[in-house]
Amino acid sequence: MLDDTHQFLESAATRLGLSNEVLAQLKRADAEHIFDVELSDGQSYKAYRVQHNHQRGPYKGGIRFHPQVNLDEVRTLATLMSLKTAAVGLPLGGGKGGIAVDPRQLSQAQLEELSRKYAAALYPHIGPDKDIPAPDVNTDATIIDWMVDEYEKLTGDSSHASFTGKSIEKGGSLGRDAATGRGGVLALEELLRLDKADTKGLTVAIQGYGNVGSYFGTILQERHKDWQLVAVSDSEAALYSEKGLDAVRLQEYKTGRGRFKAYDEGGTQVITNDDLLALRVDVLVLAGFEDTVTKENAKTVHVPYVVEMANGPVTKAAYDLLSAHGCVILPDIIANAGGVIVSYLEWVQNLQKEKWPESKVNQELASHMKRAVEETYHYAQQEAISLKESAFILALQKLTETSRL
Ligand code: GLU
């Protein structure tokens, strides 16, 4: 994944005529914090925070709890964050953190201890004007609240602006939970409008029905009564219904820890994850993990539009194959930027001691998204390049404009 990201970065840098020195700098992170978090039961977990680039503002990016977290992954995701914040015009840099842990194996008390110790180990390096972490895969407002609490105890800061994705009571923003999913739907709408696509009866499949995927589904259904969500999946299985699925019901099912392989309600069919990728739908939403569509399974994907809601869900080789068949891929650094856009709005509210109504948050989110998609689309048209190339070039341009390199 790091190689793939660097390849996209290299070709964007070449187009912009950036020197090798600048490119090397962009591939390197400013700082990498690697440490072990040891719990009182003696178990120890590898933890990371990579601070990639802060030319546009404080480092920004989530913290992921997952057994597969490793330095290369965190480096890649941190790099993508720098590009993402630049792509959507936020005055922020890029970073990412993670702990190699399966949080489902931990008790609530162990999870709290892990979260607090992670924040305690990092506190000198983070803060409202240095690095502002947020949730990512398997981390949520409860975990972030523990981290903020720990940070504030150690530093005396009381702005709550050291982390975003907090609960509303602890200074979180309305709309943050749903923001990544909502941003994705708004980005897709804008793309389809610019592309003059016929959206009547549009069919959609969502691979990965977790926080991001399920909000994508419910918001899509709320905004487009005539579009049809025909398939969704989790890590074990997928559900399919030709007549359309109920996004809200399935979100409740997943929140209650239900597993799709055991779902048997109202005429839905259990299919495999591979089957889902091969469905002839209009829009395939990839909201799981990186490297989901690869050179191997790309041959089975036949859809006009792919939305990258995960970071890097289509490998470079798969991307080339899909693009060659005319598939339009809405790139991750735009499609899933809704989360960090509303994180930025949360940070602004904290610093200004304000609490905005959800309608204002959503309006700001929509205008950031619309602008980013429009800019990316028009530049892609003008240069006859893909949306991914366009997004990377524009992001890199903004990043190096403000750079002291
Ligand atoms: N984890 C999210 C991302 O990958 C959000 C980051 C943030 O809000 O800082 O974009």
The CA distance from 318 to 324, in Å, is 10
Q: Are residues 199 and 247 in the same domain?
A: yes
Identity of the amino acid at 177: D
Q: Are residues 95 and 197 in the same domain?
A: no
The CA distance from 311 to 118, in Å, is 23
Residue 118 has pLDDT above 50, yes or no: yes
Q: pLDDT tens digits for 163-192?
A: 999 999 999 999 999 999 999 999 999 999
Distance, CA of 277 to chain centre: 20
Q: Are residues 146 and 42 in the same domain?
A: yes
Residue 402 has pLDDT above 70, yes or no: no
Q: pLDDT tens digits for 28-54?
A: 999 999 999 999 999 999 999 999 999
When pLDDT is cut at 50, 70 and 90, the band that residue 265 belongs to is confident
Q: Are residues 278 and 149 in the same domain?
A: no
- Contact partners, residue 80, CB within 8 Å, separation at least 6: 5, 94, 311, 312, 332, 333
Considering the domain boundaries, does residue 359 fall inside one?
A: no
How much of the chain, in percent, has pLDDT values that exceed 70? 99
**Residue after which a domain boundary falls, among 303, 335, 367:** 335
Q: Are residues 196 and 288 in the same domain?
A: yes
Active site residues: 96
Q: How far is the CA of 318 from the centre of ligand 1 (A)?
A: 24
Residue 405 has pLDDT above 50, yes or no: no
Q: Scanning the structure block, which residue is given the tokens 């991001």? A: 212
As given in the structure block, the two tokens for residue 289 are 């993990």
- Helix (H), strand (E), coil (C) string for 375-391: HHHHHHHHHCCCHHHHH
Give which of 5, 1, 2, 74 is closest to 33, Cα–Cα.
Answer: 74
Quote the pLDDT of residue 266. Answer: 77
Atom of ligand 1 nearest to the CA of 92: 9
Q: pLDDT tens digits for 191-203?
A: 999 999 999 999 9
What is the DSSP code (8-state) at residue 299?
Answer: G
Q: Which of 3-7, 200-204, 337-341, 400-404 has the lowest mean pLDDT?
A: 400-404
The model carries a pTM of: 0.97
Identity of the amino acid at 405: L
Give which of 255, 262, 261, 258 is closest to 275, Cα–Cα.
Answer: 261
Q: Are residues 186 and 164 in the same domain?
A: no
Residue 250 has pLDDT above 50, yes or no: yes
User: 343, 347, 365, 368: which to mutate for ligand 1, most atoms within 8 A of CB?
Assistant: 343
Q: Are residues 216 and 326 in the same domain?
A: yes
Q: Are residues 235 and 94 in the same domain?
A: no
pLDDT (mean) for 220-224: 98
Considering the domain boundaries, does residue 293 fall inside one?
A: yes
Considering the domain boundaries, does residue 151 fall inside one?
A: yes
Residue 291 has pLDDT above 70, yes or no: yes
**CATH label of the domain that carries residue 146:** 3.40.50.10860
**CATH label of the domain that carries residue 189:** 3.40.50.720
Atom of ligand 1 nearest to the CA of 311: 4
Q: Which residues does a 6 A CB cutoff place in the pocket of ligand 1?
A: 60-62, 134, 136, 164, 311, 336, 339-340, 343
Where in the sequence is the domain holding 280, given as residue range(s)? 179-335
**Residue after which a domain boundary falls, among 335, 369, 393:** 335
Identity of the amino acid at 333: I
The CA distance from 236 to 270, in Å, is 10
Atom of ligand 1 nearest to the CA of 61: 9
The CA distance from 152 to 403, in Å, is 31
When pLDDT is cut at 50, 70 and 90, the band that residue 403 belongs to is low
Quote the pLDDT of residue 390. Answer: 97
Q: Are residues 197 and 264 in the same domain?
A: yes
- Helix (H), strand (E), coil (C) string for 172-192: CCCCHHHHHHHHHHHHHHHHH
Considering the domain boundaries, does residue 348 fall inside one?
A: no
Please provide the average confidence, as pLDDT, over all residues in the chain. Answer: 96
**Residue after which a domain boundary falls, among 271, 305, 335:** 335
User: 59, 180, 332: which to mutate for ligand 1, most atoms within 8 A of CB?
Assistant: 180
User: 340, 341, 346, 347: which to mutate for ligand 1, most atoms within 8 A of CB?
Assistant: 340
